[in-house]
Amino acid sequence: MDELKGRRALVTGAGMGIGQAIARELARQGAAVAIHYASSAAGANETADGIRRQGGTAHVVRGDLGVVADCRRIVDEAVGALGGLDVLVNNGGVTRTADFVEMSEEAYDEVFNINMRGYFFCAQQAVPHLEKRGGAGGAIVNISSVHGGGGAARHVAYAATKGAIVAFTRTLAIELAPRHVRVNAVAPGLIEVPRYFDDPSYTRESGNERVPWGRVGLPGDVGPTVAFLASDGAEFVTGQTLYVDGGTNAKMALESAGGTQRE
């Protein structure tokens, strides 16, 4: 497939899980990819090596999305390595589950600094490069979550960031439309990532039972939707949030699974 041939994309939080699968799918469709990670160096390098073995182009960049200077440097390094930037996928994030009355200030700050501030300032740094893209224009794809639209206990801070990402996406799309930069969000549902197995009660079978479609999602289910939003086929799509959740949001019920993860 060559839907994204010639595109240059930065995917944050791409050392594991959903971000890793997104990076692989963009590369499979022809994009040159910058793979960002915060702590999962082995996974980021494994992803890059796999893309190169398939004849693709991949570079690895590291940084803390909770630090604005790092956000700017991550984008600049990606631009330097790829020779420009056409697509930004804001995916890197952290999950912290806790009872509302027990959530600490430190945990709250970490979740908001990485999940929302990181998206904001990576996008800000990327826009001057994205607006140079001709054709269907540059693209920003923000990864939100079903938690942004449905309630689940012990996810208050995390859900607040994911709801903020939806509002950020919608408003930024309007502001950047005159610059010919599209902004959309993807909201995954129950996607089986390694942290799910931190919960001893979780099994693949229990995950399957929670999803109307009859099976739990896998990281590879998210990549094709992101790739579509980055492609020319989505030229007239901006300001939208697409759920990749097997019907979970439509059912208006959400069960939590897993512990904590930082990408």
Q: What pLDDT, in 10s, does the model give residues 192-247?
A: 988 888 889 999 999 999 999 999 999 999 999 999 999 999 999 999 999 999 99
Residue 259 pLDDT: 45
The predicted model gives 97-121 an average pLDDT of 95
The predicted model gives 154-174 an average pLDDT of 96
Q: How confident is the model at residue 174 (pLDDT cuts 50, 70, 90)?
A: very high
Asked whether residue 7 carries a pLDDT value surpassing 90, the answer given is yes
* Averaged pLDDT score across all residues of the chain: 94
Pairing of strands 94-95, 261-262: antiparallel
More confident residue, 79 or 152: 79
Pairing of strands 138-143, 58-62: unpaired
Q: At what angle do helices 41-53 and 17-28 cross, to 10 degrees?
A: 20
Lowest mean pLDDT among 70-79, 109-118, 247-256: 247-256
Residue 262 pLDDT: 42
- What is the Cα gyration radius of the chain? 17
The predicted model gives 241-261 an average pLDDT of 74
Domains of the chain (ranges; CATH) run 8-262 (3.40.50.720)
Strands laid side by side in the 32-37 sheet: 58-62, 32-37, 8-11, 87-90, 138-143, 181-188, 241-244
Residue 256 pLDDT: 55
What are the tens digits of pLDDT across the range 34-67? 999 999 999 999 999 999 999 999 999 999 999 9
Distance of CA 189 to the CA centre of its chain: 13
User: Is the full-model pTM beyond 0.85?
Assistant: yes
Residue 195 pLDDT: 83
243 catalytic residue (yes or no): no
Asked whether residue 25 carries a pLDDT value surpassing 50, the answer given is yes
What are the tens digits of pLDDT across the range 121-152? 999 999 999 999 999 999 999 999 998 888 78
Instruction: Measure Cα distances from 57 to 81, 86, 138, 179 in Å.
Output: 10, 15, 19, 27
Find the catalytic residue in 158, 196, 202, 243. Answer: 158
Asked whether residue 252 carries a pLDDT value surpassing 90, the answer given is no
